[in-house]
């Protein structure tokens, strides 16, 4: 197999640096990868600078994964071949970062009521790109309130009040349109084919202008891949996929078995060039 188009770094919720991701992809003998951190491009930009100085025969596709909602449900939309300099998409990234800051402040205020005093500046200092609850967990660990990140989640960050402070999402339509305006290809990441409104959603996302669907993912069995492939063919959507590697889930690696074929990649590339 050829290309892994869904990888996270420590610029969102992955644990490895862009440099480590590049060497893992090189060792897996992949030809193309996309770093698709949540709501930010910083890891991908850093990786492209490192790649230019390296002798890896690997191409980096500019990517991102947007956290979205449609109604009450959460969806993830991947953007590939994005122009990172496009104003529309840069504005969307800044808007999301401000919303993420607001939700972090709400959680810190709630913790303060429980006599847990954490500094907002310290929390954001852990984040290289998009900020989230793992960075609060790190500060809880740093201040000695807990002995591990897991304990921080179990003890402080999983109660219902905090769960109700939702991480910010953008609309699916908003994400698809911004990706399109930045000359990118939008892909529905890891869709749940078993959900009762799957067909309704895929049709409505297609109307919104989505270009493709992740068909290859370590989360799926072969049957589910076949079913998704058939649906994509019927709806004339490109097929994408990747490991969704974060570095912390057992058995999920950047590898040939979690990648897409050259012909699938070429179809995405062709579409990107024509858009």
HEC readout, 79-117 = EECCCCCCHHHHHHHHHHHHHHHHHHHHHHHHHHHCCCC
Select from 67-75, 154-162, 205-213, 244-252 the region that touches Zn ion (CB under 5 A). 244-252
How far apart, in whole angstroms, are the C-alpha atoms of residue 238 and residue 118?
46
Report if residue 70 touches Zn ion, rule: CB under 5 A: no
Q: Tell me if 13 contacts Zn ion by CB under 5 A.
A: no
Closer of 4 and 65 to Zn ion (Cβ): 65
Nearer to Zn ion, 4 or 244 (CB): 244
CB of 34 to Zn ion, least distance (A): 11
Region from 65-73, 108-116, 199-207, 251-259 binding Zn ion, contact rule CB under 5 A:
65-73
- Segment contacting Zn ion (CB under 5 A): 9-17, 43-51, 61-69, 264-272? 61-69
Q: In sequence order, which residues have a C-beta less than 8 Å from that of residue 7 and are 6 or more positions away?
A: 14, 21, 25, 33, 34, 35, 36, 242, 243, 244, 245, 254
Select the span of 106-114, 131-139, 222-230, 242-250 touching Zn ion (CB under 5 A): 242-250
Q: What separation, in Å, do the N-terminal and C-terminal C-alpha atoms of the chain show?
A: 25
Of 9 and 111, which has the nearer Cβ to Zn ion? 9
Q: 67-103: buried (b, 16+ CB within 10 Å) or exposed (e) per residue?
A: bbebeeeebbbbbbbbebebeebeebbeebbebbbeb
Strands of the chain, DSSP E: 3-7, 32-35, 59-70, 73-80, 170-171, 185-188, 212-216, 238-241
Which lies closer to Zn ion via its Cβ, residue 140 or residue 216? 216
Q: How far is the CB of 110 from Zn ion (least distance, A)?
A: 27
Of 145-153, 207-215, 231-239, 241-249: span binding Zn ion (CB under 5 A): 241-249
Out of 4, 13, 244, 264, the residue judged to bind Zn ion by CB under 5 A? 244
Min dist CB 235 to Zn ion, Å, is 22
Least distance CB 242 / Zn ion (angstroms): 8
Q: Are 152 and 137 within 8 A, CB to CB?
A: yes
Please name which of 242, 241, 175 lies closest in space to residue 210, comparing C-alpha atoms: 175
Binding residues for Zn ion, total number by CB under 5 A: 2
| Nearest residue to Zn ion, scored by beta-carbon proximity | 244
To the nearest whole angstrom, how small is the minimum distance from the Cβ of residue 36 to Zn ion?
6
- Count CB atoms within 10 A of the CB of residue 29: 13
Query: CB 87 → Zn ion: shortest distance, Å?
Result: 25
CB of 9 to Zn ion, least distance (A): 11
Write down the residue that tokens 């954490």 correspond to: 118
Q: How many residues does the chain have?
A: 275
Site string for Zn ion, 91-130 (x = CB under 5 A): ----------------------------------------
Q: Which residues bind Zn ion (CB under 5 A)?
A: 65, 244
């Amino acid at each position: 197999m050829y290309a892994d188009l869904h990888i996270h770094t420590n610029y969102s919720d992955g644990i490895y640096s862009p440099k480590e991701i590049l060497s893992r992809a090189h060792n897996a003998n992949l030809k193309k990868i996309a770093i698709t951190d949540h709501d930010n491009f910083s890891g991908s930009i850093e990786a492209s600078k490192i790649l230019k100085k390296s002798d890896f025969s690997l191409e980096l596709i500019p990517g991102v994964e947007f956290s979205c909602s449609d109604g009450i449900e959460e969806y993830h939309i991947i953007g590939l071949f994005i122009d990172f300099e496009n104003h529309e998409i840069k504005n969307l990234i800044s808007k999301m970062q401000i919303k993420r800051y607001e939700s972090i402040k709400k959680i810190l205020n709630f913790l303060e009521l429980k006599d847990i005093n954490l500094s907002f500046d310290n929390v954001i200092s852990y984040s290289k790109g998009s900020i989230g609850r793992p960075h609060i967990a790190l500060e809880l660990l740093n201040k000695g309130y807990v002995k591990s990140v897991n304990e921080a989640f179990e003890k402080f960050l999983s109660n219902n009040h905090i769960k109700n402070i939702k991480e910010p999402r953008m609309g699916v339509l908003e994400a698809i349109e911004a990706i399109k305006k930045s000359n990118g290809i939008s892909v529905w990441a890891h869709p749940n084919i078993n959900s009762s409104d799957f067909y309704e959603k895929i049709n409505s996302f297609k109307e919104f202008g989505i270009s493709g669907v992740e068909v290859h993912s370590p989360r799926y069995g072969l049957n589910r891949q076949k079913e998704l492939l058939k649906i994509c063919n019927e709806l004339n959507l490109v097929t994408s996929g990747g490991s969704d590697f974060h570095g912390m889930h057992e058995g999920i690696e950047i590898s040939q078995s979690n990648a897409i074929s050259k012909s699938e990649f070429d179809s995405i590339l062709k579409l990107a060039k024509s858009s």
